[in-house]
Amino acid sequence: MKKVAIVKIYRENTSNDDYDNYRKIIDSITEWTNVSDEEYKALQWWIKNQKYGNSDKYEILEFIELNGVFIMKTTADYIKMAKQQEQEAEIRQKAKEEKEAKIKATREKNRKAKVLKEAKELGLV
C-alpha cells in the first residue's frame, strides 16, 4: 500500500509573478489516499499515457515517512498537533503550580516551626 495524491501541473502562464500558477497547483492537489500496488501501477500508466501536447499534465505525489516521523499534510493534522501540545502545556503548568504550592506549604510549615521554636526558647509558649 502506498499513500498518494494527484496534482495537476498547469502549463499556461497566467500572470507575471507566478502566484496564480502556484495557487492553481496547490488547489489542484487531491486528498491523500491509500492505494494498492495495482491501483498505483494503473495511475502510473494513466499519467504516462496522457497526450499532453500544450495542455496540463498530472503527477503522482507519494507520501513518505522519514524514519517513522509523520509528515503533516492536512489542516486536521495541524489542529490535532496543536490540541495535543496545548494539553501537554496545561499538564506541565498544572504540575508546576502543584510543585510551587507544595514548596510554599513546606516553607510556611518550616517558618511556623521556627517561630514556635523561638517562642519556646523565649518562654512565650
pLDDT of residue 19: 53
> Grid coordinates standing for 64?
513518505
Rounded mean pLDDT, 54-59: 74
Using the predicted structure, report yes or no on whether residue 14 has a pLDDT greater than 70.
no
Q: Are residues 102 and 79 in the same domain?
A: yes
How far apart are the C-alpha atoms of 89 and 125, rounded to whole Å? 47
Q: Are residues 88 and 35 in the same domain?
A: no
Rounded mean pLDDT, 84-92: 94
How far apart are the C-alpha atoms of 64 and 1, rounded to whole Å? 12
Q: Are residues 68 and 83 in the same domain?
A: no
pTM, rounded to two decimals: 0.44
Say how many domains are in the chain.
2
Q: Are residues 45 and 83 in the same domain?
A: no
pLDDT of residue 47: 84
Assign 103 a pLDDT band (cuts: 50, 70, 90): very high
Assign 107 a pLDDT band (cuts: 50, 70, 90): very high
Residue after which a domain boundary falls, among 56, 73, 90: 73
- Backbone angles phi and psi of 66, in degrees to 5: -100, 115
What does each C-alpha distance from 34 to 4, 38, 68 come to in angstroms? 6, 12, 17
Rounded mean pLDDT, 16-45: 77
Which residue segment(s) compose the domain that 101 sits in?
75-125
